[in-house]
Amino acid sequence: LKLEMPAVNLDREVTLLAAVPGVVQSLKSCAVTWKKLISRVLEEQLKKVPQGNSPLAEIDLWREINATLRALTEQIKLPEVQKVLEILQEADSQFIGDLQIVLSDLRRYHMQAQDNAKFLSTVERHLKNLSTGTGVDVISNTIPSLLNALRLVWIMSWHYSKEELMVPFLERISWEISERVRRVVDLQTLFKQDIGAAKKKITEAKNTLEQWKKCYFTTCIQVEESGSKRFWKFDVKRLFEKTDYMVLICQDLYDIFQVTEELQNIFIPELITVSENPKGVDELQRQVNIIISPMEDLSFDPFSIGSARDWAFVMEEFREDVIVEIIKQIFVENFKDPPLYKNHPPVAGAISWCRSLSHRITHPITRFQEEEELLASERGVQVKQIYLQVTKKMKAYEDQKYCLWRERTEQILPLLLKDTLLTLSSATEEPVTTKKSVCFTLNFSPEIQEIITETKYMEQLGLPVPEMARYVALQEDKYL
C-alpha cells in the first residue's frame, strides 16, 4: 500500500502554494485518492476475522492489521504528505475536513491494533503451550499462568478491558483446551491401550478441563480484589458449556474402563496359569473385550454436545445391556468347569468365582437404580429381568455346590478318620530265624487334605461347616 504523491513541486512556502489554483486542484485530486484508499483499507481490515478458532489466530490477525495500518500511518507522517495537508488546510479548510476524519480513524484504529497486538503478545507463549505442548500436564501447568497474564491484560489494556473483546478471546482459549483434550482422548487409539494408561490419560484430561474452569473463577475473584472497576462477570455458559460436557464424557469413558478392568480382574494372571481350561479363559477375555469394541468406531463425535443423545444411547446400552449379558454368558459357559483362583479347592473355588461374578453384575445394577428412568424403560425392565434370572441361577449354583459338599463331607469324613493310619503291606518268613518280616504302608487319604482346605475356604466365605470338619481343620498340624 502506497500513497500516490502529486506531480507538483512543493518546494515553495505553504501560503504561496495555497494561493495557486492549479496546485490546489492537483493536491485536492490527490487527497481524494488518499481518502478513498485509506477508507477502503480500513473497511477491509475491520471486516477481517481470525483464520480459525485458535486464540493464536486472533493474535496473528491483530499483528496483520497493525502492520497494514502502520504502513499507512508511517506514510502520513512523511514531510511531503504533511505539507500537502497544510497547503489544503490553508487553501480550503472545509474540503480537508472529510480527509481529516478518515486520517483520525486511521490513527485510532492503528493505535487499537498496536495496543491489542502488544498486550496479546504477552500471553502468546502460554497459548503456544496450549496449542503444541506435549502432554496434558503441560496444558494443566499453563492454564494458571495464562489466566494470570490475561488478568493483567484486562487491567492494563485499553481495548481488551472490554467484554466484547475478552469474552470471544476466552472462548477461543476454551476451544483450544477442548481440542487438545480431543486429541489426547482419541477413542480410536484409547481403547487399544493398556487400561491403566487409558484411565490415567482420561483422568488427566478431565482434571485439565476442570482446572480451566476453576482457574477462571479464581481469576474473577482476583480481578475484583485488585480494585479494578471492571469485573469478570461474563456469560459462563458461553465459556464452559462445551468443556463441562466434555468432563461428563471423560467420566463416562473412565467408568467404561473401570468396569472393563473389574471384569478382566475376574481372570487375573494367577487364575489363568492354574486354570485347567486356558482356552476357555482366553475366550472369556475375548468376550470382555467385545463390550468396548463398538466404542472404537463411533460414527459421531462423543465430545460434541450435538451428539449427546447418540452418546447417551451408547452408554445406556453399555451399562444396561452389555455388562449384564456378558456376565450371564460367562456364567452359563463356565459353571460346569469354572476357572479357579490359585490354591482354591474345587468347591469353595467355584463358589468364590460365582460370587465374584454376582458382585460384578450387582454393582452396575445398583448404580442404575439411582437413575430410575433407565430401569423403568422397556429395555431397562428386560435387563433387570435378565439380572434377576442370572443372580437366581448363581445363588442356586452356590447352594447346590455347598450342600453337596457338606453332605459328602458329613458322610465320608467319619469313615476316613476311622481307617487305620498304617496297613499291612506284606509278611515274609526268614529262613534262619524263622521270624516274620512285616512291611506297612501309610494309609492317609488325600481326601482329608482336600476336606481341610475346603473347610478353611468355606469358613472364609461365611458358610457353616460340619463340626467334625472344623475340628479336623483346627487340628491340621496333627493330621498332616
Nearest C-alpha neighbor of 252 from the set 192, 306, 190, 193: 190
Task: Give yes or no: residues 161 and 228 share one domain.
Answer: yes
Instruction: Tell whether 279 is covered by a domain.
Output: yes
Nearest C-alpha neighbor of 69 from the set 41, 97, 95, 27: 41
Higher pLDDT, 125 or 297: 125
Instruction: Tell whether 7 is covered by a domain.
Output: no
C-alpha cell at 90: 490553508
C-alpha cell at 423: 496297613
Q: What's the pLDDT at 430?
A: 52
Task: Give yes or no: residues 473 and 397 share one domain.
Answer: no
- Residue 189, helix vs strand vs coil: helix
pLDDT-based confidence at residue 133 (cuts at 50, 70, 90): confident
Q: Are 263 and 360 in contact (CB under 8 A)?
A: yes
Q: What's the pLDDT at 270?
A: 46
The number of folded domains in the chain is 4
Give the N- to C-terminal CA distance of the chain in Å, as an integer: 102
Instruction: Tell whether 1 is covered by a domain.
Output: no
Using the predicted structure, report yes or no on whether residue 273 has a pLDDT greater than 60.
no
Higher pLDDT, 477 or 370: 477
Across the range 60-79, mean pLDDT stands at 96
Instruction: Tell whether 128 is covered by a domain.
Output: no
Q: What is the DSSP letter of 123?
A: T
Nearest C-alpha neighbor of 362 from the set 396, 392, 336: 392
Q: Which of 138-142, 157-161, 223-227, 427-431 has the lowest average pLDDT?
A: 427-431
Higher pLDDT, 367 or 5: 5
Cell 496483520 locates to 64
Q: What's the pLDDT at 16?
A: 87
Instruction: Tell whether 3 is covered by a domain.
Output: no
Q: Which residues contact 381 (CB under 8 A, 6 or more apart)?
A: 375
Q: What's the pLDDT at 410?
A: 93
User: Which one-letter amino acid corresponds to residue 99?
Assistant: L
Task: Give yes or no: residues 83 and 172 share one domain.
Answer: no
The pLDDT mean for the chain works out to: 85
Across the range 215-225, mean pLDDT stands at 93
| Whole-number Å distance between alpha carbons of 434 and 440 | 20
Task: Give yes or no: residues 274 and 381 share one domain.
Answer: yes
- Residue 284, helix vs strand vs coil: helix
Task: Give yes or no: residues 58 and 201 share one domain.
Answer: no
Task: Give yes or no: residues 100 and 73 share one domain.
Answer: yes
| Whole-number Å distance between alpha carbons of 385 and 369 | 14
Q: What's the pLDDT at 14?
A: 83
Instruction: Tell whether 5 is covered by a domain.
Output: no
Task: Give yes or no: residues 64 and 174 share one domain.
Answer: no
pLDDT-based confidence at residue 379 (cuts at 50, 70, 90): low
**Domain stop point among 120, 142, 161:** 120
Helical (H) or strand (E) element with 437: strand 436-442
Q: What is the DSSP letter of 424?
A: E
Q: Are 393 and 361 in contact (CB under 8 A)?
A: no
Domain range for 141 is: 133-251
Alpha helices in 77-194 (DSSP H): 79-91, 93-120, 124-132, 136-156, 163-184, 187-190
pLDDT-based confidence at residue 180 (cuts at 50, 70, 90): very high
**Domain stop point among 251, 266, 300:** 251
Instruction: Tell whether 2 is covered by a domain.
Output: no
Q: Are 115 and 161 in contact (CB under 8 A)?
A: no
Q: Report in angstroms the alpha-carbon separations of 433 from 12, 209, 436, 445.
A: 158, 97, 9, 36
- Residue 137, helix vs strand vs coil: helix
Across the range 73-100, mean pLDDT stands at 89
Q: Which residues contact 3 (CB under 8 A, 6 or more apart)?
A: 34, 37, 72, 75, 76, 81
Using the predicted structure, report yes or no on whether residue 400 has a pLDDT greater than 70.
yes
Using the predicted structure, report yes or no on whether residue 339 has a pLDDT greater than 90.
no
Across the range 275-303, mean pLDDT stands at 71
**Domain stop point among 203, 232, 251:** 251
Across the range 166-193, mean pLDDT stands at 92
Task: Give yes or no: residues 265 and 292 share one domain.
Answer: yes
Instruction: Tell whether 4 is covered by a domain.
Output: no
Task: Give yes or no: residues 19 and 99 share one domain.
Answer: yes
Q: What's the pLDDT at 473?
A: 86
Q: Give the range with max mean pLDDT: 131-145, 184-198, 336-350, 390-404.
A: 390-404
Across the range 206-218, mean pLDDT stands at 95
Q: What's the pLDDT at 287?
A: 61
Q: What is the pTM of this model?
A: 0.70
| Whole-number Å distance between alpha carbons of 319 and 337 | 28
Task: Give yes or no: residues 212 and 99 share one domain.
Answer: no
Task: Give yes or no: residues 263 and 244 share one domain.
Answer: no
Task: Give yes or no: residues 305 and 362 share one domain.
Answer: yes
